[in-house]
Amino acid sequence: MYGLLRTLSKVFYQIEHPISYLILRVIYRPLSANDKRVGIIGLGNHGFTLIAFFACVAAKSRIKFVVDPSKKSRILAEKVLGCKHYKNIEDAQKDNEFFGDIVYIASDHLSHTKHALLAADSFDNVYVEKPLFVNDEQKLEFQEIYKKNCNVYTGFNRPHSPMFKEMSDNLSEMYSITMVINGHFLPSDHWYRVEGQGSRVLGNLTHWLDLSVRVFLQNSDNCDLNIELSKGHLDDLVVTLSSCDKKVTLVFSANCEPTDGVEEFIFWNSTNSIGKILNFREISYVTKDRRKSRVKKFSKDVGHKMAVLAPIYNSVSDFKIPYISSVLALRIEEMYNNQIATSSFKLEIE
């Protein structure tokens, strides 16, 4: 599902043993590397097996420093990545190491905005994982980052998926889209549930809210959204976004752990085509002129690779829509927490 090398990185990341670190070192350290100075803030599972993996293995970048307070991150930094490790940004600044071409921010949700603000003055490119911010105060602070002399990239990866792009190309002005997501089961003591980190709306659903915003704004710079929200058992929720003849319904559940990570299924019906994306491994559709298309892949591709490599490959920085979708997620978070069933929202690219 993830490809051989990334599967190995995920497996050996879970095994704390010298042999595991040796194998990971062989996988992650390129024989020759580009000259970009890259740093990572937050080297947990996501930061190591996804961001560091694609940066090191696919782009042949060497990580120059890691900022993370955990003991495991120090071991991975020193024994696998062969780079400097700091418990916090202040220590890296004192050592004159907090600068460079690219910094990836994959720390806990509450710290994303703070770390991005600190990095914006010292790096040419700042990559921020979702959510970009978790409250109204951080929302205003995040606007300041866009005024800095740096490119801002985000962890909203699914727009980079070829299957999503193909679906978007075959949509008409009128459509109904349903996205069904089976998320990770999170126990009551998971750090996502710590006050201030945001609910599953900001931690997870924000990915598909971002996809929805991109669909709504595909042929227009603005639209008025109607929002309907229904809560279910534990983390279950249904969100419906509509505007005139356009509708997107998001169904999120996380009562049981899926066998192969997050499962996601997208079904659409428009005046131009009808089709489905099955877990980003298969897409099939029929157009109004009865043309059929079906593509099935061995590996799941939700755009992680291209999202991570965007700052390394100097891709155009697309920051306006992620910011809009993050503001929308904040509104839906408020509805979710306060049991508000309906609301409205203005989507607008300024």
Percent of the chain with pLDDT over 90: 85
* pLDDT tens sequence across 98-133: 999 999 999 999 999 999 999 999 999 999 999 999
- Which pLDDT score, from 0 to 100, does residue 1 have? 63
Q: What is the mean pLDDT of residues 207-216?
A: 97
Over 80: is that where the pLDDT of 70 sits?
A: yes
Give the chain's domains with CATH numbers. 4-154 (3.40.50.720), 158-348 (3.30.360.10)
pTM above threshold 0.75: yes
Kindly give, in sequence order, each residue whose CB lies less than 8 Å from that of residue 225, ignoring residues fewer than 6 positions away. 216, 241, 242, 243, 328, 344, 345, 346, 347
For residue 259, pLDDT over 90 is answered with no
Ordered alpha helix ranges (H), the chain: 4-13, 18-28, 45-46, 53, 71-75, 89-94, 112-119, 136-145, 162-169, 200, 206-216, 304-309, 320-338
Query: Would you give the end-to-end CA distance of the chain in angstroms?
Result: 39
Residues 222, 295: Cα–Cα separation, whole Å: 32
pLDDT digits (tens, 9 = 90+) for 5-36: 999 999 999 999 999 999 999 999 987 778 89
- Pairing between β-strand 84-86 and β-strand 63-67 as defined by DSSP bridges: parallel
Judge contact between 165 and 235, C-beta under 8 A. no
